[in-house]
């Protein structure tokens, strides 16, 4: 049984220039994600990736269709679902005057969990920043800290919305390593990205989304084989005379 199942999931928003009309931001998306996968939703801006994740996370109402995580229906049991998922948002706001350790203890308390903040910071490679404030972290460190926050409830499924957008190449690599480590330890990870390299590097399977629809899905290899154009044919070597020679064993004019 897949750990995440979406069945014709749909979201309507008002049209920006005519609020009395709506459009389908997510247009009947059906997907199955298996336990232990890193699954990527790849698509251009406005494709509907974030809205899809928000519906799975219980942060946005579902207008049609259904979704379940670990067999729990997202719409009827949003709080049960929140207990088993970790959510890293595109931009996070924190209380300015708390340190990383204090914030993690606070998030743990919200989940009724007695967590070890230093162990969590160790997982995301931020031990030496334990007493720093989030405002004093670099972009990559902030992203890793927001993942630590998403891990306080030891989630079965981790959602990452464009986790490396805006990061420099080294910070991006560090975050990729973290995603791979978490996945190796058994966590199912669903991420959105518009970075092809990221999708190819991290994801076992990918769904490509455009205009609210999944237009293709599969392993990177399957997608390349099915959709990438063939490389241009190798330039022709030789000429018809060579063909004749090969076929007959002698030249046309001796």
Identify which of residues 40 and 43 has a Cβ nearer to ligand ADP in the complex: 43
Q: Taking a C-beta distance cutoff of 8 angstroms, is the pair 9, 159 a contact?
A: no
Identify which of residues 49 and 205 has a Cβ nearer to ligand ADP in the complex: 49
> What's the closest the beta carbon of residue 45 comes to ligand ADP, in angstroms?
4
Identify which of residues 13 and 111 has a Cβ nearer to ligand ADP in the complex: 13
> What's the closest the beta carbon of residue 14 comes to ligand ADP, in angstroms?
6
> What's the closest the beta carbon of residue 9 comes to ligand ADP, in angstroms?
12
Identify which of residues 49 and 142 has a Cβ nearer to ligand ADP in the complex: 49
Task: Let me know how long the chain is.
Answer: 254
Identify which of residues 28 and 36 has a Cβ nearer to ligand ADP in the complex: 28
Q: Taking a C-beta distance cutoff of 8 angstroms, is the pair 209, 31 a contact?
A: no
Q: Taking a C-beta distance cutoff of 8 angstroms, is the pair 41, 51 a contact?
A: no
Question: Exposed, middle or buried by CB within 10 Å (0-12, 13-18, 19+), for 221?
Answer: exposed
What are phi and psi for residue 116, nearest 5 degrees? -100, 100
CB-side neighbour CA atoms (13 Å) of 33:
31
Identify which of residues 123 and 211 has a Cβ nearer to ligand ADP in the complex: 211
Look up tokens 């379940």; give the residue: 68
Residues that bind ligand ADP (CB under 6 A): 13, 25, 43, 45-51
> What's the closest the beta carbon of residue 69 comes to ligand ADP, in angstroms?
19
| Distance from C-alpha of 228 to C-alpha of 197, rounded to nearest angstrom | 15
Identify which of residues 4 and 47 has a Cβ nearer to ligand ADP in the complex: 47
> What's the closest the beta carbon of residue 42 comes to ligand ADP, in angstroms?
10
> What's the closest the beta carbon of residue 12 comes to ligand ADP, in angstroms?
9
What are phi and psi for residue 18, nearest 5 degrees? -155, 90
The alpha carbon dihedral of 54, 37, 145, 102 has a sign of positive
> What's the closest the beta carbon of residue 64 comes to ligand ADP, in angstroms?
15
Helix extents (H) in the chain: 49-56, 78-84, 100-110, 117-123, 139-150, 169-184, 196-202, 220-227, 240-248
């Amino acid at each position: 049984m897949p750990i995440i199942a979406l069945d014709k999931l749909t979201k309507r928003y008002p049209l920006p220039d005519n609020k009395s009309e709506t459009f389908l931001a997510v247009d009947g998306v059906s997907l199955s994600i298996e336990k232990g996968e890193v699954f990527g939703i790849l698509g251009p801006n406005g494709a509907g990736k974030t809205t899809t994740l928000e519906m799975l996370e219980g942060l946005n109402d579902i207008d049609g269709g259904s979704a379940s995580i670990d067999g729990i229906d997202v719409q009827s049991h949003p709080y049960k679902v929140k207990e088993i998922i970790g959510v890293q948002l595109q931009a996070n706001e924190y209380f300015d005057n708390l340190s990383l350790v204090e914030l993690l203890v606070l998030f743990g308390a919200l989940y009724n969990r007695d967590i070890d903040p230093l162990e969590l910071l160790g997982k995301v490679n931020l031990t030496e920043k334990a007493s720093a404030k989030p405002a004093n972290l670099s972009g990559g460190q902030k992203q890793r800290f927001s993942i630590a926050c998403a891990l306080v409830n030891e989630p079965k499924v981790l959602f990452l919305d464009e986790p490396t957008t805006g990061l420099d190449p080294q910070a991006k690599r560090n975050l990729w390593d973290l995603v791979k480590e978490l996945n190796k330890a058994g966590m199912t990870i669903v991420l959105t990205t518009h970075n092809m390299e990221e999708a190819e590097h991290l994801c076992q399977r990918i769904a490509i989304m455009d205009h609210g629809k999944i237009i293709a899905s599969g392993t990177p290899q399957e997608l390349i084989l099915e959709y990438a154009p063939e490389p241009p044919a190798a330039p022709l070597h030789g000429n018809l005379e060579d063909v004749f020679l090969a076929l007959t064993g002698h030249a046309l004019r001796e």
